Structure 1
Amino acid sequence: MNNPIPYGRQNITEEDIEAVVSTLKSDYLTQGPRIPEFEEGFATYVDSKYAVAVSNGTAALHLCAMALNVQPGDKVITTPITFAASANCIRYCGGEVVFADIDPDTYLLDINKVREFLEASPKGTYQGIIPVDFAGRAVNLEEFRQLAEEYDLWIIEDACHAPGGYFIDSKEEKQLCGKGKFADLAIFSFHPVKHIASGEGGMITTNDKKLYEKLLQLRTHGIVKDESKYKNTPAFASGLDESQYSILDTQDYPQWYMEMQELGYNYRLTDFQAALGSSQLIRADDGLEKRRILAARYQEAFKNKDFIKGQSGVIEGHAYHLYILEVEDRLGLYNYLRENKIFAQIHYIPCHLMPYYREKGWQEGDFPNAENYYKHCISLPMYPTLQEEEQNYVIGKIKSFYEG
């Protein structure tokens, strides 16, 4: 195999390029018409009422924490097997991150471990939960919602790995990741290796109108421009005394008038990124279908192999951002694959073992399932343009490493 095979790769088509170039030639580069187009299209795709496009997935998490009014000292539970941003968003607001172990069969946050934390403390100790649809496997949010209501908690679904993924609820209905039926907010990422690529970019979905309006405000510096409120409204109606009339005059508010009502951020997506995202969204289902075909091939190739401790397998509703094997001598396999131009990856070093979180008191041994998973996990190449010949090459090299 002459060309290297990465674990993930974007797929940019001529239609994508045309969409971006068309936008670059238009009157808008930042907040233009392609933003609401992308938001509306994505909301329809995941079956949510509202969607807010932002600069990246990390910004999406931060804005969610702010919109839910996370305060210094608030305790929020999440999984240690995730990208650090899932936890960091709480720290940005001064909150306290509490990790709970994973289910070794699903690699997802173990609801029973979460319940143990909640039962061991007075109600009100914890404020929220951030479950992660890790690798593309959807969390059963119906179960988490029941637990959250029992303890008055909010839920942020980190669905960065799972647009188009779903789980089956108790009524045997499909519940799409990000739909918003069970989570207060859900977030997505459009990093190049994700299902939908816009270079950088993220999306927040919700069914809560108040949260939606709050997110729009926080996304743009906390600044509000509401023409229905300010246009043709006399300045003195705002309650200013006469000494302040010189600031706004006694005339109607002009159309340029706006207010910074709270401290927000510049977390906006650009119009040309939204154009790329909208173009990619058109073929998102096709890419998802191809990922599931690749996953089925991997499962069949490694079925009943002694060197496999576990694998992602074929799971209904799985979005397959990643396909993961658990193996012995993971480091040996990783290096062998790299020698053969196969650039597998590891997802993830447990968050609680990162130096930053070790300083908060977490240590090795706290979460045996997560730590055991990390010792054996390796993410195989998984992207829609991966050719059958390339996948067979990957499979063959893995087998040759273990079987000779």
Structure 2
Amino acid sequence: MIPYGRHHIDQQDIDHVIEVLQGDWLTCGPIVETFEAELATQVGANHVVSCSNGTTALHLAMLALNIGVNDVVLVPAITFLASANAARYVGADVVFVDVDPKTGLMTPETLKVAITAHKDKNLKAVVNVHLAGQCEDLEKIHEISRQHGLWLIEDAAHALGTIYTDSTGQDHFIGANSFSDLTTFSFHPVKTIAMGEGGAITTQDSQIAAKLKLLRSHGMVREASQWQGVETGPWYYEMQELGYNYRISDINCALGSSQLKKLESFIAKRRALVAQYDRAFALSSTITTLTKLPTSRTAWHLYIVLMDFAQLGLSRADFMKQLKDKGIGTQVHYIPLYHQPYYKKLYGEVNLPGAEAYYASCLSLPLYAGLTQDQQDAVIEAVLNHA
């Protein structure tokens, strides 16, 4: 079976993990800080705080920005559940923002429309999701957010290694927070680098970074210089805020550190596969590739095509089944969040035309560093034969 996504682990990765397993620290050890420093160097971040997964990264981001009850967070309608759920974890409400049907991304224009439509609400933050690894015009989205006094969180679960080009032609790695307050990452096995499970948050703000570190470990302080009470002693610690056990282990970070060393080769392979797919589907009357944005030098996490299933005379479910019967896995990224029963019950019926058009046609084909040329050729042949 050719899956839509898969991790790529080699002996170097295995050896790096074994070294930790044979050492003194399995968690709360030095490799966690090593990984954070390496990631900071990779993306140009001032501060990196690692955590247990991409969802906890988003939750910590909400907590660190003091978002809570009676606040409202704007989230693109096309994204994974966690992008909106993190706001609900802290008691905030969600406003769904429409997307460009040709990219699945929130745009400056759709953000402005959503802000205007909900200007009577206590809007606090925007979650800007880089679907498939591609980023929209961050500079304009940041400008709009600032005009309305909104925090800006980049959900870069798909975008490790993506570079944004601003209006002056200057390049910025996603994660450098050149046009945001916080950026969150995920290192789930199907992402560009794998850690089993893992996440991270980057920020330029030292106070926010300190709060993130506090909250990821029970709100517990061990440094005597920061204690608020009168008791002291080598055993002593203080819980100064209600925090969580969102730490990540040295085992995960050992794998992440090793994988980071291969990031550039992983990205290059993914870009080459995307280019090959694009060439293969260029003349199809039923398949459209995602619009490629000039603002984004993309480290592709997903390869998404937009298919005219009506013209094809075949439902998406049947199309996916036919490919599965040939040993090819596909997926849909994503169902509009407001379709989910939980959000329907909470906010009633929502219908955003861009999100609906995108969802009606999107399909993710296999894309991962270990995908061979023969496997990709088989995918292309099967898709074109059925399309």
Give TM class, smaller chain. Answer: over 0.9
Tell me the amino acid that sits aligned with residue 358 of structure 1. Answer: K
1:255 equivalent in alignment to 2:252: no
Q: 2:42 maps to which residue?
A: 45
Give 1:121 shift: 4.8
Give the SS at the match of 2:248: coil
List per-residue Cα deviations over 1:347-396 (Å, max 9, x = no partner): 111111000001112425x1111112111111010001100110000000
Pair 1:94-2:75 in alignment? no
1:23 aligns with 2:23: no
Which structure 2 residues correspond to residues 122-133 of structure 1 after superposition, within 5 A?
Answer: 122=119, 125-133=122-130
What is the distance in 2 between the residues matched to 1:141 and 1:256?
47
Q: In the superposition, relative to structure 1, how do residues 375 and 388 fare at CA in structure 2: closer, same or farther (>3 Å)?
A: same
Separation in structure 2 between the aligned mates of residue 229 and residue 324 of structure 1, nearest angstrom: 49
Q: Deviations over 1:22-52 (max 9, x none)?
A: 0011111111000000000001111010101
* Superimposed CA distance per residue, residues 192-246 of structure 1 (whole angstroms, 9 cap, x where no aligned partner): 000110100001011110100000000000111113346xxxxxxx676xxxxxx
Q: Tell me, which stretches of 5 or more residues in structure 2 are unaligned?
A: 310-315
Describe the shift of the 1:74–1:15 C-alpha distance in structure 2 as closer, same or farther (beyond 3 A): same
Which residue pairs with 1:103 in the alignment? 100
Q: Indicate which of 348, 365, 374 corresponds to 1:380.
A: 365
Amino acid at match of 2:336: P
Asked if the contact 1:61–1:85 (Cα under 8 Å) also holds between the matched residues in 2, the reply is: yes
Equivalent residue in structure 2 for 1:323, among 296, 303, 315: 303
Equivalents in 2 of 1:105, 1:311: separation in Å? 6
Amino acid at match of 2:382: K
Larger Rg: 1
What is the identity, as a one-letter code, of the residue corresponding to 2:223?
A: D
Question: What does 1:363-402 correspond to in 2, within 5 Å?
Answer: 363=349, 366-402=351-387
- Partner residue, 2:281: 302
Equivalent of residue 60 in structure 1, options 38, 57, 68: 57
What does residue range 195-344 of structure 1 map to in structure 2 within 5 Å?
195-229=192-226, 248=231, 253-311=232-290, 316-329=296-309, 330-344=316-330
Matched AA of 2:326 = N
Q: Deviations over 1:156-187 (max 9, x none)?
A: 10000010002210110112111111110000
Quick one: distance in 2 between partners of 1:338 and 1:20? 34
Structure 1 SS opposite 2:346: coil
Q: Secondary structure of the equivalent of 1:98?
A: strand
Q: Distance in 2 between matches of 1:90 and 1:293?
A: 36
Q: Report the AA paired with residue 271 of structure 1.
A: D
- Mapped contact 1:57–1:189 kept (Cα < 8 A): yes
Determine the C-alpha separation between the residues in 1 that align with 2:79 and 2:197: 19
Q: Do the aligned partners of 2:43 and 2:174 also contact (CA within 8 Å) in 1? A: yes
State how far apart, in whole Å, the 2-side matches of 1:239 and 1:175 are. 43
Conservation of the 8 A alpha-carbon contact between 1:312 and 1:323: no
Letter of the structure 1 residue corresponding to residue 343 of structure 2: Y
Taking the aligned partners of 1:117 and 1:10, their CA distance within structure 2 comes to 37
- Specify the SS of the correspondent of 1:378: strand
RMSD: 1.6
Q: Look up the equivalent residue of 2:260 and give its one-letter code.
A: L
Residue type of the partner of 1:97? V
Q: CA deviation at 1:318?
A: 1.3
- Supply the distance in 2 between the matched residues of 1:31 and 1:91 (Cα, whole angstroms): 29
User: Which moves more between the two structures, 61-70 or 137-146?
Assistant: 137-146
Q: Find out whether 1:179 has 2:176 as its counterpart.
A: yes
Identity %: 42
Measure how far apart 1:275 and its partner are.
0.4
CA shift in 2, pair 1:103/1:213, >3 Å:
same
Aligned residues: 380
Using the alignment, how far apart are the partners of 2:240 and 2:261 within structure 1? 37
Query: What is the rounded CA distance, in whole Å, between the counterparts of 2:128 and 2:348 in structure 1?
Result: 19
C-alpha distance in 2 between matches for 1:229 and 1:69: 21
CA 1:115 to 1:164, structure 2 compared with 1: closer, same or farther past 3 Å? same
Deviations 1:95-136 (A, max 9, x none): 001001001232111221221232345477311100100001
Amino acid at match of 1:348: Y
With the length of structure 1 as denominator, give the TM-score of the two structures: 0.91
Corresponding residue for 2:343? 357
Q: Unaligned stretches of 5+ in structure 1? A: 231-237, 241-247
Query: 2:282 touches 2:288 (CA, 8 Å); kept in 1?
Result: no
1:385 corresponds to which letter in structure 2? G
